[in-house]
Structure 1
Amino acid sequence: MNPDSTHTSSLTTEFSELQNSFSNNPYPPIEKRLALLKVVRGRIVKLEQELVDAASKDFGYRTAFDTLLGDILPTVQGLAHIIKKLPKWAKPSNRSVGLSLWPSKVSVSYQPLGVVGVIAPWNYPIQLALVPAITALAAGNRVMLKLSEFTPHTNAVIEKIFTQELHAHCKVIVGGSDVASEFSSLPFAHMLFTGSTSVGKLVMAAASKNLTPVTLELGGKSPAIITEGANIKKAAQTLLFGKMANAGQICVAPDYVFVPKALEHQLIQQICELYKKHFKDGVEGKNLTSIISDAHYSRLEGYLTQAEKLGAHVIKPLEQNQQDQQKHRMGLHIVTQVSDEMTLMQDELFGPILPIKTYEKLDDAITYVKAHHHPLALYILGQDKRAQDYIMQQTLSGTVAVNDALVQVTADDVPFGGVGHSGMGHYHAKEGFLTFSHAKNTLVSSSFNPRTALLLKQSKLIIKLLKFLYIK
């Protein structure tokens, strides 16, 4: 038996077991769901240090700050929010029936879908695996969770979370691209994928064969626009945090910056000064996360080499300790005089490279953003309220943050998702619960229901009445 058929057999078995579990209990009570979520939360808290250590091993080195702030805290915080709000979200809602359907009553109830597939990425291997999984569990579903092959140590700890009684609710799957391909082909009730746009297209194509609805959390090039009169030091602080957290390996990291031409030099100077202050030891420092693999490190080096050949200027804030190929560690690289023929202005960077473009008129920056695919995030840096409103009205993006970066994703009570090439659908908050639920329209009529008899007779009276009410 070849490896692919072995994977197929194993995945099919796991899927069937979850389907049987769901069939035996298709509508778990809210109390049972809350109890399950509390068990998951308790295990995450108990395994906190193991998760921090495991993530660091997977990255070669990852700061505890990046794992705690970007992975564990948002997951635990999100869980607490779901536990608090779930009874309200799941409550059926009465809706207006209208005169044409009187005296019936109509309501909407939220029903679990079945077995949900979640494909998680490597860059935030805890949050981006567990948050969609627990949201689907909160909606009453069973979950198959496919983890990234790049994070084996973290995966092993996550498997500990879903042992014992939780195994009937969520099964953890590991493996490479062959497993991911077979996973995408399973007839899930819903599938959520987080990753690149190119792979997202393949996942959607595989899901379409089963008419499986998908939520795609992708990425793209998220721009930052600095407005006239902005506080450049504060803008530099925001950009440096947004670009250096997790070494820039974030789907909502600022991918390039537009700055008024007159402020370009000041911005570069402020970023360099802040970098020297906060990352003075460069790649030798304990506050800089490594690039996930040699291949991704080489990809980033390739961007810089090609950009320089095509006329870009690469600025390194430190004279030394900027790169360590052996440990795949990379410090900040600012790139100016960029053009669209450069690969770093085409691909999502996913690393500590910050291209800077200048503009004379704000509309020039907006036109550039609109000429490219809708980004997952858009950042506006500056105090001009009119400019902020104008940019938001003229552009379309998955999320917006004004005078901040990254943290809009951690807001518990709002949805998260992209638009166009940066994704489709939402999760987080109530919208996540709705994504993994079927909103069922239920109409209830009593024994007193003269409407049916009149409709059966094709009564002219009822037609006249309806035309009087609705066609005016």
Structure 2
Amino acid sequence: MDPTRDLADLLAGQREAHARDPLPAWHVRSARLRALESLIRQHRGDIAEAIHADFGCRPQQETDLLEVFPSLSAIRHALAHGRAWMKPRRRMADLMFLPARTELRPQPLGVVGIIVPWNYPLFLAVGPLVDALAGGNRAMVKMSEYTPAFSALFARLVGQYFPREEVSVVTGDAEVAQAFSALPFDHLLFTGSTAVGRHVMRAASANLTPVTLELGGKSPAIIGPGANFARAVERIVYGKLVNAGQTCIAPDYVLLPRNRMGDFTTAARAAVARFYPDIARNSQYASIVSDRQFKRLTELRDEAIAAGARAEALGSGSDPAQPRRLLPTLLTGVTDAMAVMQEEIFGPLLPVVTYDTLDDAIAYVAARPHPLALYLFEQEAGAVDKVLSRTRAGGVTINDTLYHIAQHHLPFGGVGPSGSGGYHGEAGFRTFSHIKPVFRQARLNGAALLNPPYGTRFARMMALLLRRG
């Protein structure tokens, strides 16, 4: 099997199909969205079972809450608004060109490539796929080799619900992924690590393929001096431990007032006990997805301890049946030299950094690469505005964690090293559309006044234009 040839043939087939129907009507697009909705609803149990098998333990409740629900919600939102998104939007022509008319006309890009990570394999496939289909595109979806059970299931189901020239799912290893990212798509969306994102962007650049990168980084959670402290700790623990921290926008580290360190530890331990009683054996606490990821996390923890950090597990025990279950662990006394403070953690380790003033916390965040998400817990409006105006992040949630990703009217994406571009809802529709500008000249117009040969009349018109320009 030659993955490069097979993928090229698949892309060619989708391009030919798109050429036959380059501007699908809304009833065509909505039928595709409803087919995707049926796939998810009719196979919800199979989906949860496959993801559970890949992780070793992924509770169905989390799959329903974090993958099935947002996928279906995105589809319903697109079905409710997609027809309106498609309509041309009139704009005013500039004064000197009246009575000409202008408009913005959305047009499908063509064939979209989507590269899916392992941590939320359903939602991070379906989310961008919804936007691509609402935009009238065809799509090729590359699944992660680290979720083989779900990837195989999704490929089989998509093959049942869609013709391959509409939506196709590709499985395979890193060689296949490399060949996939080098295809001349009309747009490529990649979700994953910053390191791999660099390779994807480099491969896409050979074809000048536009790329949306959804990466990650070290997303801080700031507990301000005016925060509801108990509530802040509870929501940070929640955001950190769903899917065992294997979330691109999970709080990566905490910044809190220096005198609240002991209070934070006590409150965090209580929150873990409340959410996950007997956490080592609790079937509602997810396992780490692979031996490779488990080893990476334990090495991060152990390297920090060896360099002087203090680790405090928020729970106890072990379960021989779940060898990749990692207990939530606070890390204090961390320094910038430690790998755990340089790399995105992507697991249930939580470094805690103390500050003296909120200005110090802001400076700490601003001095580091822009994160995908920022969380601020603070009740005082002036303090909130200060943090928002002096930091940069892909998205922000105030007085909670994670929930900005679930807002259909907000784009989701990173900034700088945490990504480029965005999608979700209308923003996603526009990402996967060319918003074509159209100028309609009026039958009676003054354009001829600027024709050559350039003489006195031209000079007078030019003087008028420059004066009013």
Partner residue of 1:404 out of 395, 400, 406: 400
Cα separation, 2, equivalents of 1:164 and 1:226 = 47
Q: Aligned pair in 2 of structure 1 residues 324, 408: CA closer, same or farther (>3 Å)?
A: farther
The answer on 1:171 being equivalent to 2:168 is: yes
Cα separation, 2, equivalents of 1:325 and 1:357 = 34
1:201 is matched with 198
1:296 is matched with 293
The answer on 1:13 being equivalent to 2:9 is: yes
1:445 is matched with 441
Q: Once the 2 structures are TM-superposed, how far is the Cα of residue 365 of structure 1 from its aligned partner?
A: 1.3
Q: Once the 2 structures are TM-superposed, how far is the Cα of residue 406 of structure 1 from its aligned partner?
A: 0.9
Asked if 1 retains the 8 angstrom alpha-carbon contact of 2:279 and 2:315, the reply is yes
The answer on 1:350 being equivalent to 2:346 is: yes
The answer on 1:98 being equivalent to 2:94 is: yes
Cα separation, 2, equivalents of 1:356 and 1:101 = 60
Partner residue of 2:255 out of 255, 258, 268: 258
Q: Once the 2 structures are TM-superposed, how far is the Cα of residue 48 of structure 1 from its aligned partner?
A: 0.8
User: Which sits farther off after the overlay, 41-50 or 325-334?
Assistant: 325-334
Q: What is the one-letter code of the residue matched to 2:249?
A: V
| Structure-to-structure mapping, 1:430-469, within 5 angstroms | 430-452=426-448, 454-458=450-454, 460-469=456-465
Q: Aligned pair in 2 of structure 1 residues 47, 325: CA closer, same or farther (>3 Å)?
A: closer
Asked if 2 retains the 8 angstrom alpha-carbon contact of 1:297 and 1:328, the reply is yes
The answer on 1:371 being equivalent to 2:367 is: yes
Q: Once the 2 structures are TM-superposed, how far is the Cα of residue 140 of structure 1 from its aligned partner?
A: 0.8
Q: Once the 2 structures are TM-superposed, how far is the Cα of residue 333 of structure 1 from its aligned partner?
A: 0.5
Cα separation, 1, equivalents of 2:320 and 2:373 = 30
TM-score by length of 1: 0.96
Cα separation, 2, equivalents of 1:200 and 1:361 = 35
Q: Once the 2 structures are TM-superposed, how far is the Cα of residue 298 of structure 1 from its aligned partner?
A: 0.6
For 1:121-146, what per-residue CA distance to the aligned partner results, in whole angstroms no more than 9, with x for missing partners?
Answer: 00000000111012111101111100
Cα separation, 2, equivalents of 1:403 and 1:283 = 29
Asked if 2 retains the 8 angstrom alpha-carbon contact of 1:36 and 1:166, the reply is no
Q: What is the one-letter code of the residue matched to 1:223?
A: P
SS of residue in 2 equivalent to 1:418: coil
Q: Once the 2 structures are TM-superposed, how far is the Cα of residue 462 of structure 1 from its aligned partner?
A: 4.9
Partner residue of 1:142 out of 115, 123, 138: 138
Q: Once the 2 structures are TM-superposed, how far is the Cα of residue 469 of structure 1 from its aligned partner?
A: 4.9
2:183 is matched with 186
Partner residue of 2:306 out of 306, 309, 313: 309
Cα separation, 1, equivalents of 2:443 and 2:335 = 72
Partner residue of 2:273 out of 269, 272, 276: 276
Partner residue of 1:332 out of 328, 345, 353: 328
Q: What is the one-letter code of the residue matched to 2:296?
A: R
SS of residue in 2 equivalent to 1:130: helix
Asked if 2 retains the 8 angstrom alpha-carbon contact of 1:58 and 1:292, the reply is yes
For 1:169-228, what per-residue CA distance to the aligned partner results, in whole angstroms no more than 9, with x for missing partners?
Answer: 111001111011001111111100000001101100100000001000000000011011
SS of residue in 2 equivalent to 1:62: coil
The Cα RMSD (Å) is: 1.6
- Structure 2 runs not aligned, ≥5 long: none
Q: Aligned pair in 2 of structure 1 residues 28, 263: CA closer, same or farther (>3 Å)?
A: same
| Structure-to-structure mapping, 1:203-282, within 5 angstroms | 203-282=200-279
Figure out how many residues of one structure are paired with residues of the other and give that number.
467
| Structure-to-structure mapping, 1:27-66, within 5 angstroms | 27-66=23-62
- Structure 1 runs not aligned, ≥5 long: none
Asked if 2 retains the 8 angstrom alpha-carbon contact of 1:297 and 1:325, the reply is no
SS of residue in 2 equivalent to 1:378: strand
Q: What is the one-letter code of the residue matched to 1:212?
A: T
Q: What is the one-letter code of the residue matched to 1:366?
A: I
